[in-house]
Amino acid sequence: MDGPSHPRTGVFAGIYDPVIAPFERLGLGGLRRETLRGLSGAVLELGVGTGRSLRSYPDSVSSVTGVDPDETMLDRAARRLPEAGMPVRLLRAAGEDLPFPDGSFDAVTAFLTLCTVQSQEAALREAWRVLAPGGELRLLEHVRVERKPLGRLQEALTPAWSRLAGGCHLDRRTLEGVSSVGFEVERIGRYLGGVVLRIHARRA
């Protein structure tokens, strides 16, 4: 693993795997595979976390670069390297400030991460920049829904939830964010009444 040393944020990383494991069995694992289906070439995963997605990349992917600002998460992801079927590089970096030249990747992916980055717009602009023209953005994210009672509840719960869940926001309008930085949205999968979206978009 390369990258400068960094204080560990620890607690959330420590409980992440046991908390997420039941959801993986209840369908999250299948949604990860569906999100990654058909990708090829060099892929960048934003907020790689404990490396839960590494085993789900198809054989057509030649390499995965996983970035995350949390070194404890990256340590746990490193334990999962043997599960990946291709070379994986792990790097400490934030999605808003990626240490890669323009056009470095064929695809950028993120799972449950654009809810947590400090600036979703900055992270999406960076994804655009490091993608080669024609490159793909694949996301699996929970989002704010527009239906009144639920959307309002998501907003009301976000401050407390964010403190409990490592900075996660329940009220991000991620699909709108993807379009607004210029990606062409090609496909959307909606789950749990539209609270979870699988977004396939392209840097045209």
Chain residues binding ligand SAM by CB under 6 A are 20, 46-49, 52-53, 68-70, 73, 94-96, 111-113, 116-118, 168
What tokens does 137 get? 């953005």
Q: How far is the CB of 44 from ligand SAM (least distance, A)?
A: 11
Q: Which is nearer to ligand SAM, 55 or 133 (CB)?
A: 55
Q: How far is the CB of 111 from ligand SAM (least distance, A)?
A: 3
CB-count exposure of residue 13 (10 Å: 0-12, 13-18, 19+): buried
Q: Which is nearer to ligand SAM, 49 or 135 (CB)?
A: 49
Q: How far is the CB of 134 from ligand SAM (least distance, A)?
A: 24
Q: How far is the CB of 107 from ligand SAM (least distance, A)?
A: 15
CB-count exposure of residue 95 (10 Å: 0-12, 13-18, 19+): buried
From 133, 17, 126, 8, select the one nearest 71 (Cα to Cα).
Answer: 8
Q: Which is nearer to ligand SAM, 46 or 143 (CB)?
A: 46
Q: How far is Cα 138 from Cα 18, in angstroms, rounded to an integer?
A: 25
Q: How far is Cα 22 from Cα 69, in angstroms, rounded to an integer?
A: 25
Q: Which is nearer to ligand SAM, 47 or 135 (CB)?
A: 47
